[in-house]
Structure 1
Amino acid sequence: MNTKKYISIFISLILISITLQAKSGEADKLPVVIQELVPAPAVPAHNIVAKGGPKVIKVRMSITEKVITIDKQGTKFRVFAFNDSVPGPLIVAHVGDYIELTLVNPKKNNFEHNLDFHAATGALGGGGLTHILPGEAVILRWKATKPGVFVYHCAPGGAMVPWHVVKGMNGAVMVLPRDGLKDREGKPIKYDKAFYIGEQDFYLPKDDNGNYKEYIHPGDGFSDVLEVMKTLTPTHVVFNGSEGALEGDNALTAKVGETVMFIHAQANRDTRPHLIGGHGDYVWPNGSFNDPPRTNLETWFVPGGAAGAMVYKFRQPGTYVYLNHNLIEAFILGAKAEVKVTGKWNNDLMEQLMEPTRIAD
C-alpha cells in the first residue's frame, strides 16, 4: 500500500473541499436573473421597488474595436465599445443584489481590456480581476452595497487608462434602494420612463490643413491622440457616441404628465446638465441615492468620473433641449439632445400675449 500516495490524495480532496466552500456563499443560494442589456439611451426593464429578496443578476458584455462617425461632418474615429455601444449599456440592480458579469474580448480585437466598476468594492473595482487579452473571457461577481448611479470604465494601466476611456470605453450602473427612491420627507419618488445619457469627450489631431486626421487601423495615431489629450481640450463633446445622436429622428420622447428619469454619466470630465424649458424636480448630482435629492434645480453639476440622476415631470408639450450648460461644448462641440414632448398646452404656465410685431424706429 502506497501510504504517501493516499495521504497526498486525501490532502488534495481536503483542499478541493475548502476551495469549494470558500467559493460557496450567499450568492450561490440566490435566484438568478438574466438582464438583457440595451444600447443607450434605453434602460433595461426594471422595477423601482425591488420584488422579493436579493438576486444574482447575470449580464454579458463583449468588447468591440471599431470605426464610427462622431460628427455631422462625417469625421471617423476608431473607438473601443462595450456591447458595440458608446456609452456601454446601463446595468440596473438593487442594493443587496449581486452582479455577475461575463466579459468577452473577441479574438479579432487587438488590445487587452478590463473593467473597473465604481459601484463595486475591492480589487480596483474589479479592474484587477478582469484583465483579458484578445480571445479571452472572464467572469466577475460583485455585491451591490451602495445605492446610486455609478460609472464603469476600462482601466488596463498607465496611459492606456485615459486612452481607452476617451475612446468610448465607459458606461454606468444604477443601484436602486430596495424600497425605491424617496424625497427628503421619505415619500416615494417614481418615474414612468428613464433615459440614459453618456457624455463622451474625444480628442482628434488635425493635419496641416486643419482637417481631422483619421486613423483606421488599430493602434494608429496613439501618440498623436495622446498629445491632444495632454491639452485637456477635447475636439468633440457628444452624447451617446456622436454629435446629433439624440436629435431629430433620434430625439428622446415623452408625454405631458409623464415623469422621466435622466441618468447622466461622464467618465472623464466635469459636466453641467440642464433641461431648457424644465427643471430638475429631484436631483442626485453626485449619484448617491443614500442622500436626499436636491430639488428644483436649473442646472446641476456632475463631476468627471461620476454619474448623476434627475427626475422631472413634463408639464408642457414641445421640443426641449437637454444639454451640458457649458454652451460652447453643447452647441459647438456637440453635447446636447432633444426631448420631444406631446400633449396639451397649458396657457396658465406660459402664453404668448403678442406675436412678433414690427415697431416704429
Structure 2
Amino acid sequence: MLSRRAALMIGAGLAAAPMLVQPVLAEGGLDTSNSAPSDLSGLTRIKRELVAPPEVHEHEQVALGGPRIVEFEMRIQEKEIQIADDAWLQAMTFNGSVPGPMMVVHEGDYVELTLKNPPTNMMQHNIDFHAATGGLGGGALTLINPGEMTKLRFKATRAGVFTYHCAPGGPMIPWHVTSGMSGTIMVLPRNGLRDQHGEPVAYDRIFYIGENDFYIPRDQNGAFKRYPDHGEAYPDMLEVMNKLIPSHVVFNGRVGSLTGDNALKAKVGERVLMIHNQANRDTRPHLIGGHGDLVWEQGKFNNPPAVDLETWFIRGGSSGAALYQFRQPGLYAYVNHNLIEAVNLGATAHVKVEGEWNNDLMEQLVAPTPYDADLEIRTALP
C-alpha cells in the first residue's frame, strides 16, 4: 500500500503538472460492452515464455501457416536496481528487467497479454503498445492497481519493431518511463525480412538493446542519493527530470551491463540483427569497426532498408533494427554516438567476435616503433 507520505508527494506532483489524456475513461476502463466479440476460435494458440534482455524468446523468422494467437504474461515489479557502482534507482519494471522483455509475433497475429500488478507494488501501472490500434495503445484498457491483473488482446497489423511503455497518465508517464518501464515488440512480416531488393534475408543471432536515460538526484556533497521507496524518490527525481539532463545514459539497465564478462558474443560470418529501443530520447547507434548492412532506421519492415550506414538515428519513443554480418574477429564497441553519453554516462556495449582475421580487409603494415623526429625536421628544412 502507498504510504501516506508517498501519496502526498505524488498527489502534489499530479496537482502541479498539466495532465495528458487520462488512460481510463470510465469506471473500470473503456465501455466496450456494445462491441461484438471477435470469433477467433479457429486460430491456433501458442504461449511464449519471455526472457530477459539482451536475449529474445524462441521464435520463427518466417510464419508457419496462418495467423495465431500468441500468449504472453508479464508481471510488473517495483524494485531498487543498481545502475552504476555508485548509483541506485527505485525502478519500475516489466518482468523485473530494464528494458522489459521483447515480444515477437508475425504480422496478422493476435497478441494476448496477461498483465499482473502484484499487491506488494505501490503504484498503478498499464501498458501502451505503439504497435496496437485503439485505446491509447492498450493503455485505456490495462490500467491496474496493486493486486489486480488484466488481459489485453490486439491484432498486430503493422510489421516492424515498436516501443511499449507504461503510461498511467499525467506526470506519472515520464516518471514511470524514466524509471525503467519500456520495452520492444517485434512484428515480423509473415514471409520474413527482405533486403533492399526485396530478397529474403535471415539473421543468425539477435541482440536486444534498450537504452535508458536516468535522472538520479545528488546530495549536497555531490554523491548520488538513495531512497527507501518510490514515493520518497519522486520529488527529487522530478526536479532532476525537468532539467532534461540525465545523470546516466545506459544500455540494458546499468553502466557496463553489456561489457566485460557480459559482452555480447558472435562469430565471423554470422548475421546479427541488432534491435535498439529508446522510449524517451533520441539516440544514434554506431558499431565501431562495423556498419549497418541493412538498417530499418524507423523500425518498419515493410519499408525498404537503408544500406551501409555508419550511424543510424532512433527517434525517442521508437525502436529500430540493423542487420550486420561480422567480417573480422575482435572486440567491437556498440555505442550511442553522442560520445559524451557513450563514454561519460554509460551508453556503451561490447561485442566479442571469434574467427580468422582477414588481412585483405585490414592489415597493420608497421607495428608501433620509435622514429627520428629530429631527422624528419632537418630533412624538411629548405
- Alignment: residue pair count: 341
Q: Does 1:242 align with 2:254?
A: yes
Equivalence map 1:40-79=2 (5 Å): 40-71=53-84, 73-79=85-91
Shift of 1:45: 1.1
Q: Which residue of 2 aligns with 1:288?
A: 300
Q: Which amino acid aligns with 1:337?
A: A
Shift of 1:20: 11
SS where residue 175 of structure 2 aligns?
A: helix
Q: Which runs of 5+ in 2 are unaligned?
A: 1-32, 374-382
SS where residue 265 of structure 2 aligns?
A: strand
Contact kept, 8 Å, 2:87 with 2:216, in 1: the verdict is no
Instruction: Give the percent of matched residue pairs that are identical in Structure 1 and Structure 2.
Output: 59
Decide whether aligned partners of structure 1 residues 285 and 21 sit closer, same or farther in structure 2, where only a CA change above 3 A counts: closer
Equivalence map 1:207-226=2 (5 Å): 207-226=219-238
Equivalence map 1:137-152=2 (5 Å): 137-152=149-164
Shift of 1:301: 0.2
Q: 1:23 aligns with which of 34, 37, 40?
A: 37
Shift of 1:134: 0.2
Equivalence map 1:107-122=2 (5 Å): 107-122=119-134
Pairwise CA RMSD: 1.1
Shift of 1:224: 1.0
SS where residue 184 of structure 2 aligns?
A: strand
Task: Tell me which moved more, 239-248 or 28-37.
Answer: 28-37
Structure 1: distance between partners of 2:249 and 2:35: 49
**Moved beyond 6 Å, runs of 4+:** none
Contact kept, 8 Å, 2:90 with 2:233, in 1: the verdict is no
Structure 2: distance between partners of 1:21 and 1:88: 31
SS where residue 41 of structure 2 aligns?
A: helix
Q: Which runs of 5+ in 1 are unaligned?
A: 1-18
- TM-score when normalising by structure 1: 0.93
Structure 2: distance between partners of 1:24 and 1:159: 35
Q: Does 1:264 align with 2:276?
A: yes
Q: Which residue of 2 aligns with 1:184?
A: 196
Q: Which residue of 2 aligns with 1:32?
A: 45
Q: Which residue of 2 aligns with 1:91?
A: 103
Structure 2: distance between partners of 1:341 and 1:164: 36
Shift of 1:21: 9.0
Q: 2:175 aligns with which of 153, 160, 163?
A: 163
Deviations 1:112-171 (A, max 9, x none): 000000000000000000000000000000000000000000000000000000000000
Structure 1: distance between partners of 2:215 and 2:141: 29
Shift of 1:331: 0.5
Q: Which amino acid aligns with 2:117?
A: N
SS where residue 22 of structure 1 aligns?
A: coil
Q: Which residue of 1 aligns with 2:28?
A: none
Deviations 1:2-51 (A, max 9, x none): xxxxxxxxxxxxxxxxx7992242x3321100011110000111111111
- TM-score when normalising by structure 2: 0.88
Q: Which residue of 2 aligns with 1:4?
A: none
Q: Which amino acid aligns with 1:222?
A: Y
Contact kept, 8 Å, 1:77 with 1:216, in 2: the verdict is no
